Amino acid sequence: MKILRLLLKAGLLFFLVLVRSGDIDFSPILSMLKVKYRSAAEYYLDRVSDIGIFLLLLDFIQLVVIFFYRRRKRIRGSDNFIVGIGHIYSIVLVMGLIIGILSLLRIDPKSLLTSISIVFAGLAIITKEYVANMITGMINTFSGEISIGDNIGIGLHKGKVLDVTLQKVHLLNDDDDVIYIPNTLFHTMEVVNYTKRLIKRTSVEFEIGISHLNNVEEIEKMLIETLSPFHEMIQEDSYYLRTAEVRKDYVLMKFQYILKVPNKDMERVIRRKTVRQVVEFISTREKIVGQRPELL
């Protein structure tokens, strides 16, 4: 089907080029149909041909660039470069269609821009956020700092990048919620890319009251025993419980481990198991101490 569509597009492009060059004469047809405004009909025929040629050529250029890129990189799916080419295609397409419609209406784009420059200045102010997001989206796409499939953290959000559009980055968090983050935030906030680090270490953070904390090694041993069903999937000696921050009433701790093979679903299961064990541990301590600490 793809080859058939490509051949049909090529045939249509060839036909439109012949029409625009004048090799195909529609005069007999126009005379037979007794078109009253023949010159106007010929004008609109030429403009429609120009628009058709533009759309088809733009489509072919996109297909050729993506084809050779995939062949060179030996990939089948999409990556940042292919998404970026799609963004450029969309921008050029919209601009071309606007100019084409203006030409159909016999409006000179230069004269129009000059006559309504004040209006355009107002539109620029109104749409500055949109333009800023669009520019940042292009930068994010081609910079390679954030790629589709990466696990990142920005602000309070962590998750997997599903898509990078001209306006927002689509993020899938651990609760399977899709979060739409404006592109401009990626230039104003700190972003952590967990996928691009050499060691894919998984970290589970929690807070525990100082009154409930007797021995760090005891908690670490308990968590390691809790994950015994998953030992075959976790690198040996990669377990590590560290104290990230000490406050007046509680301690922020991070329990870390490294999966032998990165697996988002398995990370979610192990994280859930770890957090539940921490909750059970705190509940047991609470009965003894008589106060409830905060848990992330």
Mean pLDDT by 10 residues, the chain (296 residues): 79 80 63 56 80 89 88 78 85 88 79 64 71 81 79 86 87 86 86 70 78 77 86 82 80 82 77 83 66 44
The neighbour count for residue 100, using CB atoms within 10 Å, is: 17
Domain ranges of the chain: 2-115, 134-193, 201-289
CA separation for the pair 259, 51 (Å, rounded): 54
pLDDT score, position 286: 64
pLDDT score, position 25: 63
Domain 134-193 fold is: SH3 type barrels. (2.30.30)
Q: CB pairs under 8 A, 24+ apart, for 266-271?
A: 266/230, 266/233, 267/202, 268/174, 269/230, 270/202, 270/227, 270/230, 270/234, 271/174, 271/202, 271/204
Contact of 60 with 16, CB cutoff 8 Å: no
Q: Note the CATH number of domain 201-289.
A: 3.30.300.100
pLDDT score, position 180: 92
